[in-house]
Amino acid sequence: MQGLPSESTLANQSLWPLGVYALLVLAMLAAVVIISALIGPRHSARRRDLPYESGMPPTGTAALRFPVHFYVVALAFLIFDLEVAFLFAWAVAARDVGWLGYIELVVFIVMLLAGLVYLWAKGALDWGASPANAATPVAEEIDG
């Protein structure tokens, strides 16, 4: 602890260094991007302006439909991350709110876990086809 400024000066410290630091960082990055764009050579060649697809001529648009799983995970993340934000509010005040707060925390977390269990049971956390799930429908299709 020695060498630290006293509590009061720290509480009074303003945020302007952060703002100046942010400007400094952005200015530096902008300078690097601009300078490297200026000093780099330029040339063009036949078939150069195509997206890289392992040397093959590109097929179709790159606006692919990506698996809906990513969307489900993003939704689940939004909900859970919001709940984590509430947990932070409890964490910083854990001592002040005592056992009553802790019981509320447990209730909250049980609800959160219920959501997780639901996601889990619905298969939202299973990616791709697990061998057990994949084998049956295909086999049925062949039989039918």
Partner 1 sequence: MSGTLDVIVRMVLTLALAMASASMLVWVERRLLAAFQDRYGPNRVGPFGLLQLVADSIKLFTKEDWTPPFADRVPFILAPTIIVATGLLSFAVVPFTAAGALVDLNIGVLYFLALSSLSVYSIMLAGMASNSKYSLLGAVRAAGQMISYELAMGLSVASVVALAGSFNLREIVAAQEGLPYVVLQPVAFLIFLIAGLAESKRSPFDLPEAENEIVAGYHTEYSSMKFAFFFLGEYLALVLFSSIATALFLGGGNGPWLPTIVWFAIKMAAIIYVFIWVRATFPRVRYDRLMAFGWKILVPVAILNLLVTGALVVARSAGG
Q: Which of residues 6-35 bind partner 1 (CB under 8 A)?
A: 10, 13, 15, 17-18, 20-22, 24-26, 28-30, 32-33, 35
Contacts with partner 1 by CB under 8 A: the residue count is 73
Residue with tokens 């295909």: 138
Instruction: Determine whether 105 is exposed, middle or buried from the number of CB atoms within 10 Å of its CB (0-12, 13-18, 19+).
Output: middle
CB of 63 to partner 1, least distance (A): 8
CA distances from 8 to 2, 33, 93 (A): 15, 41, 21
Looking at residues 61 to 100 of the shown chain, list those that interact with partner 1 (rule: CB under 8 A). Answer: 62-64, 66, 69-70, 73-74, 76-77, 80-81, 84, 87-88, 90-95, 98-99
Sign (positive or negative) of CA dihedral 40, 43, 49, 52 = negative
CB of 136 to partner 1, least distance (A): 18
Q: Which is nearer to partner 1, 133 or 139 (CB)?
A: 133
- Do residues 58 and 50 make contact, with C-beta atoms less than 8 angstroms apart? yes
